[in-house]
Amino acid sequence: MRKEDLTAHGKRLLQETPVLETLRGLDPKGVNEVLRIVETCAEFARLHAEPKALELDARMEEDPEYFDWDLVRTAGRYRLFSLVVPAVLGGLAGKYMLTAASLGVEEICSACAGIGNMIAATGLGACPLLTPGGMPHWDTVLREIVEGERKGEPVLMAYAITEPSAGTDVEEPHFLAKARIGMEARRVKGGYLLNGRKCFISGGKEAKYLTVCAATDRNRPLETWTVFMVSRDMEGFSVPRVERKMGQRACHAAELLFENVFVPEEYVIGYEGDGMSMGILSIMAASRGPVGAVGTGIARGVLRNFLSWARQEHGGRKPIEEQRIQMEIADMAASIQECRGLVLDHSLAGDRVFGTLLVNPMMKALFALPREFRLSRPYQAFLQSRPGRAASARLLRLLVSEEDMTRLLALASLAKFASTDMAMNVASRALQLMGPGDSEERRRVEKCYRDVKVTQIYEGTNQLNRLTWYMIEHEGSLRVELPRPRL
């Protein structure tokens, strides 16, 4: 694809992100794929998310239980739920998976962060399955996501870690060691019984599959934190309620109840007790950067609507003609550009870790085997066995270093807190300048203000993310430890 063949949006993206334009000169095929994905997200945002944003927000304020399945099916036609599914399975995730996902999420969230979160929740729920411990489910659950899109029946996922008595506590080792854990997974013959509650789970009400973190010993949560995959049709699982939300209403935040939910052994992701390293820190190392992209997207939406408002007459004058407004606009644009740089720093560093893993010759060789063989009982039994899990752990340690993962977590936390705080400041400043008058532009900016607040809270509060960055970069007290083979 030559530059002259790019859409106007693709050309603008390259102009605004010189690092991508430079990278395109070195790897045109890879970056062109990123541009195609981002342009797809931008089209969905323009044609479907932005026109419905205010209407859906108002409807779900009155009826928090409502969920727009028609919009979900539309997103499926754009293949937005396949953004993190590896290309070897028919998904869109390849060499630059994090860069494409982050820039794509930014586009959707510039139109509506609630709709963006509704889509991204499935990607987050699928993330634990992308670790080597989740490989037994690649040809089943991840493939089902791809096939669901093709059939017009999207398969949604969710990620459940927060508990009523433990929120930020469960996202950092020093805090988890002292956390008050309510949920417990008790080992029984053939698997585990899950009992307890999770809360504020994005997309939890509609998800067909959930990746759930729980302690097998509540008195030793750090040592026994484990990741499970739960299907919503398992006996004893229920969703007692969804929250009445201030912002991002298009995506439910649900309370989940587990009452003697039996989870078979093969639904344990990786090893028992590795939940903090592989189920939390490694996932946060991948996902906090895209939360920063949510922030930059919201800020872009604020700036776009503020510009539209400023170009109109108010009291006989157009605010855009005042130099003070022009300088405010320049400050907003500079803040967005700075934080997008942090997000891209994280994404490109992450693609060196995760993207390289997906296109590694050994990984390709595994998936060159016939799917019938990969789904066969002997092959699946091997993946689920201790030798199979040990082989997956060895593969991970061969291809990824703990230093890279730890550094990636620091970059992710930095991009997350800086970008979401920036978006909060941009939205607040725009509302102050616009004043109390009513207009569609002001209503959209006011919605952005409500939407952005939760980005400072989920995936670890911004206070925790600051501490994470400091503990890695200056104190050296936090490190991502990859699972060691256990035979």
Domain limits, the chain: 3-156, 158-273, 276-475
In angstroms, the CA 130 to CA 286 distance is 11
Q: What is the mean pLDDT of the chain?
A: 94
- Single out the residue of 93, 94, 156 nearest to residue 121, CA to CA: 156
In angstroms, the CA 416 to CA 339 distance is 9
Crossing angle (nearest 10°) for helices 69-77 and 143-151 = 100
Q: Are 325 and 310 in contact (CB under 8 A)?
A: yes
pLDDT (mean) for 108-129: 97
pLDDT (mean) for 266-291: 93
Query: pLDDT by residue (tens digit) across 407-465?
Result: 999 999 999 999 999 999 999 999 999 999 899 999 999 999 999 999 999 999 999 99
- pLDDT at position 68 over 70: yes
- pLDDT at position 335 over 70: yes
Query: pLDDT by residue (tens digit) across 350-370?
Result: 999 887 777 778 778 888 889
Q: How is domain 3-156 classified at the CATH fold level?
A: Butyryl-Coa Dehydrogenase, subunit A; domain 1 (1.10.540)
- Which tokens in the block code for residue 446? 């006011």
- pLDDT at position 304 over 90: yes
- Single out the residue of 360, 283, 295, 286 nearest to residue 98, CA to CA: 286
Q: What are phi and psi of 399, to 5 degrees?
A: -100, -20
Q: Domain 276-475 in CATH: superfamily?
A: Butyryl-CoA Dehydrogenase, subunit A, domain 3 (1.20.140.10)
Task: Determine the pLDDT at residue 328.
Answer: 98
In angstroms, the CA 112 to CA 124 distance is 18
Give just the sign of the alpha carbon dihedral 371, 393, 407, 108.
positive
pLDDT band at 292 (very low <50, low <70, confident <90, very high): very high
- Single out the residue of 347, 334, 349 nearest to residue 299, CA to CA: 334
pTM of the model: 0.95
In angstroms, the CA 378 to CA 260 distance is 30
Which CATH number fits the domain 158-273, given the four candidates 2.40.110.10, 3.30.465.10, 3.60.15.10, 3.40.50.300? 2.40.110.10
Crossing angle (nearest 10°) for helices 28-44 and 97-111 = 20
- Which tokens in the block code for residue 387? 């030798």
pLDDT band at 391 (very low <50, low <70, confident <90, very high): confident
Q: Are 430 and 302 in contact (CB under 8 A)?
A: yes
Three-class SS of the chain: CCHHHCCHHHHHHHHHCHHHHHHHHHCHHHHHHHHHHHHHHHHHHHHHHHHHHHHHHHHHHHCCCCCCHHHHHHHHHCCHHHCCCEHHHCCCECCCHHHHHHHHHHHHHHHCHHHHHHHHHHHHHHHHHHCHHHHHHHHHHHHHHHHHHHHCCCCCEEEECCECCECHHHHCHHHHCCCCCCCEEEEECCEEEEEEEEEEEECCCCCCEEEEEEECCCCCHHHHEEEEEEECCCCCEEEEEECCCCCCCCCCEEEEEEEEEEEEHHHECCCCCCHHHHHHHHHHHHHHHHHHHHHHHHHHHHHHHHHHHHCCCECCECHHHCHHHHHHHHHHHHHHHHHHHHHHHHHHHHHHHHHHHHCCHHHHHHHHCCHHHHCCHHHHHHHHCHHHHHHHHHHHHHHCCHHHHHHHHHHHHHHHHHHHHHHHHHHHHHHHHHCCCCCHHHHHHHHHHHHHHHHHCCCCCHHHHHHHHHHHHHHCCCCCCCCCCCC
In angstroms, the CA 408 to CA 346 distance is 7
